[in-house]
């Protein structure tokens, strides 16, 4: 079955104009379709590029946050160690005052803290001295307490008070051991 088309010569001008308008519309539709396809392709590329940038940004953010968290942890750890050292020094200072014949109430008044806090400091000092580092003399830590109070302002070296404590003729271990029964009786006051 063949369709019979009239030859071009036989077409009327109206048919030729309609065919031309139809071809123009088809070309415009194809151009619009290609333009839409290019726009969609560009949008997909942008989306994927943004997705990749977001992933990289999140990874960078997470790395920076982790580094900052590590810095925070390190700062907290350093501060905790430093504070613990100061607390040990405070306990040793309170014990030195107590070992020089002051009552818990006297120490509390001098340091402007409660008697309960004095007793906690004394207990901390006893616990700390119960496990001295090898080769450390018990009284040398008390001397370092006196020196550490001045160490922030004065170059390293024994202070005048530290020399008096070091040259004290009384054996510090014996004086602490003999002072303990007296301290126990003061806790009951």
Same structural domain, 114 and 154? yes
pLDDT for res 5: 60
pLDDT for res 10: 77
pLDDT for res 40: 97
pLDDT for res 111: 95
Same structural domain, 155 and 66? no
- pTM for the predicted model, two decimal places: 0.46
Rounded to 5 degrees, φ, ψ at 156 are -60, 140
- Among residues 44, 61, 78, the one where a domain terminates is 78
pLDDT for res 144: 40
**70 is a domain residue:** yes
**56 is a domain residue:** yes
- Among residues 62, 78, 94, the one where a domain terminates is 78
Domain housing 91: 85-187
pLDDT for res 3: 63
Q: What is the mean pLDDT of each run of 10 residues along the chain (189 residues)?
A: 60 90 95 97 98 98 98 98 96 95 94 96 91 42 39 36 35 39 38
Q: Would you say how long the chain is, in residues? A: 189
- Among residues 22, 48, 78, the one where a domain terminates is 78
Same structural domain, 103 and 123? yes
Same structural domain, 46 and 130? no
Same structural domain, 102 and 161? yes
Same structural domain, 109 and 176? yes
CA dihedral 73, 78, 79, 84 (to 10 degrees): 120
Same structural domain, 56 and 90? no
**36 is a domain residue:** yes
**7 is a domain residue:** no
Tally of structural domains, the chain: 2
- Give the C-alpha separation, 157 to 130, whole Å: 27
Same structural domain, 96 and 137? yes
DSSP H/E element including 163: helix 160-166
Q: In 3D, which of 7, 17, 182 has the Cα closest to residue 102?
A: 182
Same structural domain, 91 and 126? yes
Q: Is 142:172 a contact under the CB 8 Å cutoff?
A: yes
Same structural domain, 72 and 158? no
Same structural domain, 52 and 33? yes
Within 8 A by CB and 6+ apart from 173, the residues are 138, 139
Q: Is 158:78 a contact under the CB 8 Å cutoff?
A: no
**57 is a domain residue:** yes
């Amino acid at each position: 079955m063949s369709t019979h088309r009239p030859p071009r010569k036989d077409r009327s001008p109206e048919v030729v104009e309609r065919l031309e308008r139809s071809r123009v519309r088809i070309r415009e539709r194809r151009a619009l379709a290609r333009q839409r396809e290019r726009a969609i392709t560009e949008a997909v590329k942008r989306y994927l590029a943004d997705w990749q940038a977001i992933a990289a940004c999140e990874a960078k953010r997470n790395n920076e946050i982790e580094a900052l968290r590590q810095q925070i942890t390190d700062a907290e750890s350093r501060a905790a160690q430093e504070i613990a050292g100061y607390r040990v020094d405070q306990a040793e200072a309170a014990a030195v005052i107590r070992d020089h014949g002051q009552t818990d109430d006297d120490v509390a008044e001098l340091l402007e803290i409660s008697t309960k806090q004095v007793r906690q400091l004394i207990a901390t000092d006893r616990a700390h001295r119960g496990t001295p580092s090898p080769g450390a003399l018990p009284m040398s830590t008390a001397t370092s307490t006196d020196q550490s109070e001045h160490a922030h302002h004065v170059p390293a070296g024994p202070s005048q008070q530290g020399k008096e404590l070091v040259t004290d003729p009384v054996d510090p271990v014996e004086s602490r051991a003999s002072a303990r029964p007296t301290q126990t009786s003061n806790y009951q006051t």
